[in-house]
Homo-oligomer: A and B are copies of this chain.
Amino acid sequence: MNDFEQCPTEGAIGLLSLLITRGRLAEARLDGSLAAAGLTFVKWRALDALIKSETATGLTVLADKLNCVKSNVTQLVDKLEAEGIVRRVPDPGDRRGTLVELTGAGRGLHKAGRDALENATRQLFASFDEDAMASLRRLLILL
């Protein structure tokens, strides 16, 4: 009995159901792979966004990149800051603004997290070839 049979399988609603449950499953797996490092996938995505951004990043921009609301980022950054992973610095050009930057520890954790994620990802996509992954990406973007 695989998970597929536990979902409504008929029609488009069943397909969305499958998408949603598979997304949750994937997130749970990734969270599991990051737990040893004290991270979650959401936290890691925040670090990843920070490391990839050319310029220092304000909280609103970060919320956009993480597809969540500002108040969520406020609390996420609270935690990351308490853990010494990021640092808040005032935006020199806008006294309302706060910029977030990685600490050295944060940079190390991002790297460790990426390694863990690459492992977990290989397992999740064990039965995918390059074509299947490209197809999945193309289809998801259509949504």
Given A67-B3, A125-B12, A45 and B17 contact (CB-CB distance below 8 Å) = yes
- Taking the complex as formed, is A65 at the interface, i.e. its CB lies under 8 A from any CB of chain B? yes
Total copies of the chain: 2
Cα separation A24 to B20 with both chains bound (whole Å): 7
Q: Tell me, yes or no, whether A127 is within 8 Å of chain B by CB.
A: yes
A7 neighbours in B (Cβ, 8 Å): 67
Contacts of A124 in B (CB 8 A): 12, 16, 143
Other-chain contact of A136, B6, B15, B25 (Cβ < 8 Å): B15
Q: By DSSP majority rule, is chain A's interface helix, strand, loop, or mixed? A: helix
* Nearest B-chain residue to A17, judged by Cβ: B45
Whether the Cβ atoms of A23 and B15 lie closer than 8 Å is no
In the complex formed, the residue of B with least CB distance to A18 is B140
Which of B4, B6, B139, B142 is close to A139, meaning CB atoms less than 8 Å apart?
A: B139
In the A-B complex, the 9 residue pairs with the closest CB atoms: A23-B23, A12-B121, A136-B139, A20-B23, A127-B142, A20-B27, A22-B140, A22-B143, A18-B140
